[in-house]
Amino acid sequence: MVKPTYNLPESDSSDDAAITHWLERLADHYPADELHLIAAACAVLTRYRGNRQIETGETHVRHVLSTADILVRLRMDSETLIAALLNGCLDQGDLRESELVNGFGAGIVRMVGDLARIGQIANVDAIIADKDQLEHEENLRRLLLGIAEDVRVVLVVLAERVHLMRAIKDLEPGRRTKIARDTQRIYAPLANRLGIWQVKWELEDLSLRYLQPDEYRRIASLLSERREEREQYIAAVMAMLRDKFAEAGIAAEITGRPKHLFSIWKKMRRKAVAIEEIFDLRAVRILVQTVADCYAALGLIHGLWKHIPKEFDDYIATPKNNFYQSLHTAVVGPEDKPLEVQIRTHDMHRHAEFGVAAHWAYKESKGHDAEFQRRVVWMRNWLELKNEGDDASGFLARFKSEFEPVHIYVLTPQSKVVELPKGATPLDFAYAIHSEIGNCCRGARVNGRIVPLNYTLSSGEKVEILTQKHAAPSRDWLSPHQGYLITARARNRVRQWFKQRDFDQHLQDGRSALERELGRLGIPDKPHLDDLAPKFNYRRGEDLLVAIGCGDLAVGQVARQVGEPRIEAPKEPELRIRPPQKHRNNPLASLKAGSGDVVVEGVGDLMTQMAQCCKPVPFDDIVGFVTRGRGVTVHRRNCGNLRHLPPAEAERLINVRWANQPNHAIYPVDLLVVATDRKGLLRDVSSVFSDEDVDVTGVNTHSEKSTDSANMRFTVEIRDMTQLERLMTKLQQIPDVLEVRRAG
């Protein structure tokens, strides 16, 4: 295939002469303005890399010139050639990127940058330990596609590989083997996946030659014919078939190839057969319009040459499992040499090449993910279009965003490839390596330069994380605006870290808050935390303390579950709210609860008054207390003041009940609302009161800093129990309200 466009002058002639000669040859292939730029690239090349030698013993100039020449043979555009020529020139001497951009455009310079990064990786992969080899190779393959935003970069890399393989004959054997193995495992499969067969076969044959020289020689001698002879044979067959199909009036596209050495060697081993039993050593393929044409073509072929019966397969009538369709036959061709003929429609061919049946998909049984496949298909489509001379750049623009890689591939200092989503930062990288490295991350170096931790990584960059022993994550890392982390894994790790740390802190805070509160309320009982926890829907006592510590739970609420308060909470400074004006005019407001509402048993109509401490409302469970001279005070039966009456006083208690029809009086009630403090809380509470048309005559609020909770005491005017209950339910429903109860 890729023969040089001409024979490069012997190495004793100067690089300049080689360049001049090469440029002259290009005149037929590229328009004048492009030739001008190619020549300019050559000038940069000699100026900045003129005297370099590479490991094969060639000058750098010869190396890139040969690479560019292979690209010419692959019919690549001038931009690709220029990128290949400038490869290695970036940041050489006083040449700056901006200069190159001015001279050649940003697109080409980006390709040159990609090439530099790939070159760097390709060279360091030598130090990978054997056990990581397979994973590394797969990653490197992805990396090559991942770095190259532009498929043309991959083409340059492959062309360079072809030239390198041609040039390593005299290298030290160990190094040569290493290069050949990489070629066989990474570059040839890549060429295969991209469908660049001319590159693939040469890479495979040359690898075999260096990795298994005896086998290579054995197969070569079995073949008796040299490659050129076999190529000429195929060319002659194709020319003849083109005539025959034209005569028969069947539109057909005919291709062909001699089977390459590596493929022969593999097939002989796989099928354990002699070379005589391989019928596709020489092969042609005929693409036609319709299925009917397929069979017509088959008839034509079988009419021309005697066919070998057991070599006929009709995969059109019986497709393969992967839906591959084609007619396969083998005939005794010209000079009595076996010839394989494949016949299929263009549709079947497209499916075979790009669909699920794509060649590489069943020839390489290794796993591959959807994104990678998509990208390969995209690149192959692009290459196809280019060959057909369509508007490939339009296609590129149209599909670029759709098929843009969603992953990047970066390297550890040991050159292990790490896959990250696009946009990932050094911090994401650190967490991808190990969460401890993430937690202790203090800085990062990318390609040797210190970068901020929210720097956006690109494929091919080498990342080194700087850690500090007792460093800890920062809350900022979780802020989406600051762009420190884009991977869910890393964010989770950071959250986890804080959770663990906060747990310890909250546990301590919760414990001391509860102790303080118990002391303040004079509750002597020792809390049984594990028994208490389920009452608040927590599993263990520790969780309960953490809930108190982080403010999820009001400490007062828990304390009261532990035991009875002995001491009234100290009075808080008062905040008086005036009742709304309209209630001032409410005739009911002046009619205070009192006589007539309550019947004192066995006594009749005694003067009664509602106790100020517990403020009973019809039809609370009530009890009367006979005062000295002020009649009977009506208390709620569970009023705290009555509970510890000395025996002498207890005798003054008397049964009372509500009158059947109480006056339409209003009763003052004290309500206690405990809530997690927040902005707008009081406003929400007030709006419930006004919705319920309830007057508020007194307010006491008190925030507890340690638990972030608000204790609010309201004195409200209530008409009856129904209204009170509805009011309490509504208050309970306000977000962050933990507890609503009547005081007293």
Closest approach of Cβ 385 to ligand AMP, in Å? 18
Closest approach of Cβ 280 to Mg ion, in Å? 4
Interaction mask 170-189, ligand AMP, x per CB under 6 A: --------------------
Is residue 257 a contact residue for ligand AMP (CB under 6 A)? Answer: yes
In the bound state with ligand AMP, the residue whose beta carbon lies nearer, of 259 and 491, is 259
**Residue corresponding to tokens 């998509």:** 374
The option from ligand AMP, Mg ion, none interacting with 338 (CB < 5 to 8 A, set by class) reads: none
Closest approach of Cβ 467 to ligand AMP, in Å? 50
Are the C-beta atoms of residues 516 and 638 closer than 8 Å to each other?
Answer: no
Sequence-ordered list of residues with C-beta below 8 angstroms from that of 379, at least 6 positions apart, any chain: 145, 151, 154, 194
State the Cα–Cα distance between residues 440 and 493, nearest whole angstrom.
12
Segment contacting ligand AMP by CB under 6 A, of 256-264, 500-508, 520-528, 725-733: 256-264
Instruction: Select from 494, 490, 369 the least CA-distant residue to 433.
Output: 490
> Binding to ligand AMP (CB under 6 A): which residues in 350-369?
359
Question: Residue 19's CB: how many other CB atoms inside 10 A?
Answer: 20
State the Cα–Cα distance between residues 571 and 554, nearest whole angstrom.
19
State the Cα–Cα distance between residues 28 and 26, nearest whole angstrom.
5
Segment contacting ligand AMP by CB under 6 A, of 43-51, 130-138, 277-285, 379-387: 277-285
DSSP state of 306: E
Closest approach of Cβ 206 to ligand AMP, in Å? 16
Residue nearest to Mg ion (CB): 280
Question: Residue 654's CB: how many other CB atoms inside 10 A?
Answer: 16
State the Cα–Cα distance between residues 502 and 500, nearest whole angstrom.
5
The option from Mg ion, ligand AMP, none interacting with 342 (CB < 5 to 8 A, set by class) reads: ligand AMP
Segment contacting ligand AMP by CB under 6 A, of 257-265, 454-462, 558-566, 720-728: 257-265
Is residue 284 a contact residue for ligand AMP (CB under 6 A)? Answer: yes
Closest approach of Cβ 201 to ligand AMP, in Å? 7
Are the C-beta atoms of residues 151 and 379 closer than 8 Å to each other?
Answer: yes
Among 139, 342, 487, 723, which residue interacts with ligand AMP (rule: CB under 6 A)?
342
In the bound state with ligand AMP, the residue whose beta carbon lies nearer, of 280 and 543, is 280
How many residues touch ligand AMP under the rule CB under 6 A: the total is: 13
The option from ligand AMP, Mg ion, none interacting with 376 (CB < 5 to 8 A, set by class) reads: none
Is residue 327 a contact residue for ligand AMP (CB under 6 A)? Answer: no
How many residues touch Mg ion under the rule CB under 5 A: the total is: 1
Instruction: Select from 204, 231, 233 the least CA-distant residue to 216.
Output: 204
The option from ligand AMP, Mg ion, none interacting with 257 (CB < 5 to 8 A, set by class) reads: ligand AMP
Sequence-ordered list of residues with C-beta below 8 angstroms from that of 9, at least 6 positions apart, any chain: 17, 18, 21
| DSSP strands (E only) in 412-462 | 417-421, 441-446, 449-451
The option from ligand AMP, Mg ion, none interacting with 168 (CB < 5 to 8 A, set by class) reads: none
* CA atoms in the 13 A half-sphere facing the CB of 264: 26
State the Cα–Cα distance between residues 622 and 239, nearest whole angstrom.
115
Among 58, 150, 340, 461, which residue interacts with ligand AMP (rule: CB under 6 A)?
340
In the bound state with ligand AMP, the residue whose beta carbon lies nearer, of 141 and 257, is 257
What would the two tokens of residue 172 be? 């030290």
State the Cα–Cα distance between residues 664 and 678, nearest whole angstrom.
37
Closest approach of Cβ 280 to ligand AMP, in Å? 6
Rg (CA), the chain: 44
The SS3 assignment for 243 reads helix
Among 179, 283, 410, 558, which residue interacts with ligand AMP (rule: CB under 6 A)?
283
Are the C-beta atoms of residues 157 and 114 closer than 8 Å to each other?
Answer: no
> Binding to ligand AMP (CB under 6 A): which residues in 724-743?
none
In the bound state with ligand AMP, the residue whose beta carbon lies nearer, of 340 and 695, is 340
Question: Residue 281's CB: how many other CB atoms inside 10 A?
Answer: 21
Closest approach of Cβ 259 to ligand AMP, in Å? 5
In the bound state with ligand AMP, the residue whose beta carbon lies nearer, of 230 and 285, is 285
Is residue 204 a contact residue for ligand AMP (CB under 6 A)? Answer: no
In the bound state with ligand AMP, the residue whose beta carbon lies nearer, of 110 and 359, is 359
Q: What angle do CA 79, 82, 88 make, to 5 degrees?
A: 135
Are the C-beta atoms of residues 438 and 423 closer than 8 Å to each other?
Answer: no
* Alpha-carbon separation of residue 191 from 157, 202, 405, 459, 606 (angstroms): 10, 10, 19, 20, 108
Interaction mask 233-272, Mg ion, x per CB under 5 A: ----------------------------------------
State the Cα–Cα distance between residues 116 and 301, nearest whole angstrom.
51
In the bound state with ligand AMP, the residue whose beta carbon lies nearer, of 113 and 195, is 195
In the bound state with ligand AMP, the residue whose beta carbon lies nearer, of 353 and 736, is 353
Closest approach of Cβ 340 to ligand AMP, in Å? 5
> Binding to Mg ion (CB under 5 A): which residues in 268-287?
280
Are the C-beta atoms of residues 677 and 708 closer than 8 Å to each other?
Answer: yes
The option from Mg ion, ligand AMP, none interacting with 285 (CB < 5 to 8 A, set by class) reads: ligand AMP
Give the H or E element holding residue 257.
strand 252-258
Q: Measured on CA atoms in the order 287, 362, 176, 87, is the torsion positive or negative?
A: positive
The SS3 assignment for 100 reads helix
Segment contacting ligand AMP by CB under 6 A, of 85-93, 282-290, 554-562, 584-592: 282-290
Closest approach of Cβ 267 to Mg ion, in Å? 8
Is residue 255 a contact residue for ligand AMP (CB under 6 A)? Answer: yes
Is residue 280 a contact residue for ligand AMP (CB under 6 A)? Answer: yes
Residues that bind Mg ion (CB under 5 A): 280
Residues that bind ligand AMP (CB under 6 A): 197, 255-257, 259, 263, 280, 283-285, 340, 342, 359
